């Protein structure tokens, strides 16, 4: 009995001594994971781009509309069937009404968008590069931002009447705010080290604006442009239904008076196409101009 106890005590002492003094320890046999090499890095982010991913949602929406109309789930008095809308679309083209109204609406939208882009960009540059300019400009723009553009229509009618001036001014006012906000924020977010480098190189004010300021503010400007294009079409829809005699909005309002749901849907589809195409063009421009950026979208 004593001999067995002494042998067990010696083994325990040897094991403890090996752990304290850095002796050999029992190691777990290498499993299959260790022999397979390092584990693959897990990719974070949204993943690879889906081909025609932006078109999947609209296509499903149209398919739902087609199926619902074919099975009688959608009352044609509430929402006309797609084939009825196509017939109305062809009829309006044959009559020339759609082309004339489209040209009028596009002219108003492009004119208002151009004026708003020019004014918003100039104001953003002045406020972004000058404290005095910011003190004079930023406050009024923020006040305008808090007031919906459509709420200014009664006042604009008193100032400009119900003609083209009022409609173009309304669109321009809607465009100015997103262009100014995003461009001004981008200007103020430019890394100060670039400014110090420009001062060290003794760059002129013109070269500083062309080579540092404008490239640095370009991402913010393009983001503001996407919002501006959307607000441009939204404002156009509203102003063309106020005592207008031409345009897509006028065509829609006239169809409402006669209960022509199919004509209303034709106008809405044209608005949707204009919005999607214009936004797609801005996104394409953004990818081309900012191809040097590495983001999650890449």
271: domain CATH number is 1.10.3720.10
Identify which has the larger pLDDT, 27 or 223. 223
Instruction: Give the pLDDT band of residue 244 (cuts 50, 70, 90).
Output: confident
Q: Between 101 and 205, where is the model more confident?
A: 101
Q: Is 121 domain-assigned?
A: yes
Residue 270 located in a structural domain: yes
Note whether residue 31 is domain-resident. no
Alpha helices in 21-81 (DSSP H): 32-35, 53-70
| Cα–Cα nearest to 92, from 236, 254, 273 | 254
Q: What is the pLDDT of residues 166-177, one digit of tens each?
A: 999 999 999 999
Cα separation of 199 and 232, whole Å?
39
Per-residue confidence (pLDDT) for residue 17, from 0 to 100: 46
- Is residue 211 one of the residues assigned to a domain? yes
d(CA 265, CA 277): 18
The SS3 of residue 30 is coil
> Distances in Å between the alpha carbon of 141 and those of 24, 90, 121, 147, 181?
75, 44, 12, 10, 9
For the chain, what's the residue count?
Answer: 298
Give residue 276's pLDDT. Answer: 84
Nearest residue to 236 (alpha-carbon basis) of 266, 275, 280: 275
The pLDDT value given to residue 173: 93
pLDDT band, residue 59 (cuts 50/70/90): confident
Residue in the block written with tokens 């009995």: 1
- pLDDT range class, residue 237, cuts 50, 70, 90: confident
Between 137 and 52, residue with greater pLDDT: 137
Strand, helix or coil for residue 247: coil
276 contacts: CB under 8 Å, gap ≥ 6: 58
The phi, psi pair for 209, rounded to 5°, reads -70, -45
Residue position matching structure tokens 């939208």: 109
pLDDT of residue 170: 92
Matching residue, tokens 């001062």: 199
Q: Which residue segment(s) compose the domain that 120 sits in?
A: 79-289
- How many domains does the chain contain in total? 1
Q: Is residue 112 part of a domain?
A: yes
Digit-coded pLDDT (tens) for 248-266:
888 998 888 888 888 999 9
Residues 6+ apart with CB under 8 A from 134: 127, 128
Q: How far is CA 256 from CA 49, 97, 133, 261, 264, in A?
A: 41, 16, 47, 7, 7
Average pLDDT score, the chain: 81
Residue 30 lies in a domain: no
Candidates 276, 292, 265; CA nearest to 89 is 265
SS3 at position 11: helix
Residue 203 covered by a domain = yes
> What's the pLDDT score for residue 20?
42
Q: How far apart are the two ends of the chain, measured CA to CA in Å?
A: 76
Query: In which band, very low, low, confident or very high, does the pLDDT at 44 lie, cut at 50, 70 and 90?
Result: low
CB 99, CB 90: distance < 8 Å: no
Spatial contact of 141 and 214, defined as CB atoms under 8 Å apart: no
Write the pLDDT tens digit of every residue in 113-158: 999 999 999 999 899 888 898 899 999 999 998 988 888 888 998 9
Q: Read off the pLDDT of residues 7-31 as tens digits, 9 standing for 90 and up.
A: 444 444 444 444 444 444 545 555 4
Tell me the average pLDDT across 212-222. 84
Q: Is the pLDDT score of 285 beyond 90?
A: no
With bands split at pLDDT 50, 70 and 90, how would you rate the model's confidence at 63? very high
296 inside domain = no
Candidates 98, 131, 87; CA nearest to 273 is 98
């Amino acid at each position: 009995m004593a001999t067995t106890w002494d042998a067990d005590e010696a083994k325990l002492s040897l094991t403890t001594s090996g752990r304290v003094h850095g002796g050999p320890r029992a190691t777990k046999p290498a499993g299959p994971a260790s022999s397979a090499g390092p584990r693959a890095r897990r990719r974070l982010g949204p993943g690879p781009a889906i081909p025609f991913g932006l078109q999947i949602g609209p296509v499903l929406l149209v398919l739902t509309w087609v199926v619902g109309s074919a099975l009688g789930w959608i009352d044609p008095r509430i929402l006309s069937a797609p084939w009825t809308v196509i017939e109305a679309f062809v009829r309006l083209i044959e009559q020339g009404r759609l082309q004339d109204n489209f040209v009028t609406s596009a002219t108003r939208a492009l004119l208002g968008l151009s004026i708003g882009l020019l004014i918003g960009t100039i104001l953003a540059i002045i406020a972004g590069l000058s404290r005095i300019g910011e003190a004079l400009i930023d406050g009024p723009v923020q006040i305008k931002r808090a007031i919906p553009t459509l709420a200014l229509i009664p006042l604009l009618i008193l100032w400009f009447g119900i003609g083209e001036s009022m409609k173009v001014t309304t669109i321009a006012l809607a465009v100015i705010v997103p262009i100014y906000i995003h461009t001004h924020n981008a200007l103020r977010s430019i890394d100060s080290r670039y400014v110090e480098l420009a001062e060290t190189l003794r760059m002129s004010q013109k070269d500083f604006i062309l080579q540092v300021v404008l490239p640095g503010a370009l991402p913010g400007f393009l983001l503001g442009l996407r919002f501006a294009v959307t607000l441009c079409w939204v404002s156009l829809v509203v102003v063309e239904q106020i005592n207008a005699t031409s345009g897509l909005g006028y065509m829609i309002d006239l169809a409402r008076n006669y209960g022509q749901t199919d004509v209303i849907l034709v106008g809405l589809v044209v608005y949707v196409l204009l919005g999607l195409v214009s936004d797609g063009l801005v996104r394409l421009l953004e990818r081309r101009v900012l191809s040097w950026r590495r983001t999650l979208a890449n």
